[in-house]
Amino acid sequence: MEIKEYFAGLSRLIGELPWEEIGRFVQLLREARERGSCVFVFGNGGSATTASHFACDLGKGTVTEGKPRFRVVTLH
């Protein structure tokens, strides 16, 4: 596969993502952060690694001055 074909396919797939559902999920996460709620993520097998990375990204990669940090826990 040529690189141009790869990116054309990627661009098509991005356009097909369920953006409304993703927006609702992001809003739920924002509300959980504002309430100080704990977000639990989990995975089984290889998905446990994905869950761990997501938790790390959520807990550390979203730190914003003046906003509370996410409280996030992985279960696996």
* % the chain with pLDDT above 90: 97
Q: What is the pLDDT of residues 27-38, one digit of tens each?
A: 999 999 999 999
Judge whether residue 76 has pLDDT over 90: no
Residues 6+ apart with CB under 8 A from 51: 41, 42, 43, 74, 75, 76
The whole-number average pLDDT for the span 51-61 is 96
Work out the mean pLDDT of the chain and round it to a whole number: 96
* The model's pTM: 0.80
Burial, 70: exposed, middle or buried (Cβ in 10 Å; 0-12, 13-18, 19+)?
buried
Judge whether residue 45 has pLDDT over 90: yes
